[in-house]
Amino acid sequence: MLSDSPPRKQSSNTAARWIVRTASDRSCALGSRTSSGDYAPSTYARYRGYVDDEGPLSWWESRNVYEITWENLRAWLLWLAKEYQRPGAKRVGIGAKSRLNVLTAFRGFFKWLRRHEQYRALPTPEWPSVAVVKTKRRTMGSLAAQADVIESVPAEHRGIFYAMAHLTLRNGEARALRSGDYDFRRRELFVGWAMESGAASSERKSTKTDADAWYPVSAALAAWLEWRFPPESRFDRDAPLFAHPTTGLPYRDATLAKIWRRACQEAGVPYVSPYAASKHTTYSELARAGWDLLSLQRMGRHSDPKTTLGYIEEFGPSRGETQRAREELEERQRREDRVVPLRRER
């Protein structure tokens, strides 16, 4: 049972474990976001894994809450960059964006506690910053180029690339799909899982945004699934929906990249990663076509609209182009005696 009071300086309770778990438990007890500014329980549930024994907050294992100082926070961020290794990962250290995410979550937990009367005695450290260089998203340049490469993929491998491009699925989400996730009658696909790693034997977990829903599939993907799964082979609902034809197992990330690279060469299109070629390319083209923020956010299952807004700001039409389009629409509707008031940009 967690105490309502912070660990004393001589206590062996750890800063990370106490702060995150206490904030999580208190938040879940409150329910959804309240007028006082409390976060929704799902926010804390999503980051609770940070306090696992091998999680990015494990550095704080031997330190209590009174040791959360600017110096120690900087030392922890340096450790994340140079020494921390995610469970099952080959790479040592995590990137600036990941470090910023962990730091933001830790600071959010800490601030949440200090807003409540019984935790006012906690120290108020100065929080360091993490510089993240914003890089331009790579895309294929057009949906036509994307389609040309997909058609250059051998037919037996093509289905998963249809799913990634047409439904903007992340690699791990597409690889985690099972036969039972697809409704052949309604032609709808349930997206609610993702692979934990790039290995074929990886376990399934919740998606990055904890979102799950049914999505209608494209005509091309529906036709491919009908071809790949004749009626007599649809009884094993746990079978991978997109299995490698040789192994029968889900694709590895490295295998998808290898197949995609060969298809790019075959189509004469410069190589970009499958993720950038599918999700980034589809979003950039829809944003360029003028899709609104809410539609793009729903399609991409983005929990934060700022993520979606990045595509619109980078690839969408300029304010001048948007204004001209509205004026042309308004003029056309006037001529047709169907005037619809339009809100102009300032």
DSSP structure string for 97-108: HHHHHHHHHHHH
What pLDDT is stored for residue 266 in this prediction?
95
Distance of alpha carbon 181 from alpha carbon 312, whole angstroms:
31
**Tens-binned pLDDT, residue by residue, of the chain (346 aa):** 344 455 444 444 566 667 766 655 654 444 444 434 444 444 555 566 676 667 888 888 778 777 888 999 999 999 999 999 877 777 888 888 889 888 888 887 777 777 776 677 777 788 998 888 777 778 888 889 999 999 999 999 999 999 999 988 889 999 999 999 999 999 999 998 888 888 888 888 877 666 678 989 999 999 999 999 998 888 889 999 999 999 999 999 999 999 999 999 999 999 999 988 888 888 888 888 878 778 888 887 777 777 777 777 676 665 555 556 556 655 665 665 544 443 434 4
With residue 48 as reference, give the H or E element that holds it.
none
What pLDDT is stored for residue 344 in this prediction?
38
The CA–CA distances, whole Å, from 262 to 145, 267, 309 equal 14, 9, 32
Domain-located, residue 129: no
Q: Specify the number of domains making up the chain.
A: 2
24 shares its domain with 114: yes
DSSP E strand stretches across the chain = 182-183, 188-191, 193-195, 204-206, 213-216
Last residue of a domain, one of 244, 268, 292: 268
Q: How many CB atoms lie within 10 A of CB 15?
A: 23
Q: Which domain holds residue 198?
A: 143-268
Domain-located, residue 134: no
Last residue of a domain, one of 248, 268, 288: 268
Domain-located, residue 339: no
151 shares its domain with 264: yes
What pLDDT is stored for residue 340 in this prediction?
41
Residue 206 forms beta bridges with which residues? 193
